[in-house]
Amino acid sequence: MNALTLWDLLIPKPTRYKRSRRRKPPVPKVIIRKPKAPPTGMQLKYEQITKEMLTKYGVRVRKWRSSMSGVAWQVTYRDGTMSKLLESPKPKGPMSAAIFLHEIGHHAIGFGTYKPRCLEEYYAWKFSIDTMHELNLNVTDRVHERMHDSLNYALEKALRRGLKNIPHELVPYIEPRVRQSA
107-148 pLDDT, tens digit each: 999 999 999 999 999 999 999 999 999 999 999 999 999 999
Residue 52 — φ and ψ, nearest 5°?
Answer: -60, -45
* Cβ atoms < 10 Å from Cβ of 71: 13
With a cut of 70, which residues of the chain have pLDDT below it?
1-2, 7, 12-21, 181-182
| CA–CA–CA angle 161, 152, 134 (5° rounding) | 125
pLDDT at 74: 96
CB 95 within 8 Å of CB 68: yes
CB 99 within 8 Å of CB 69: yes
pLDDT at 19: 64
Sign of the alpha-carbon dihedral angle for 182, 96, 109, 131:
negative
CA distance 31 to 8: 58
> The pTM is what?
0.78
pLDDT at 177: 85
| CA–CA–CA angle 3, 5, 9 (5° rounding) | 115
CA distance 77 to 48: 30
pLDDT at 16: 63
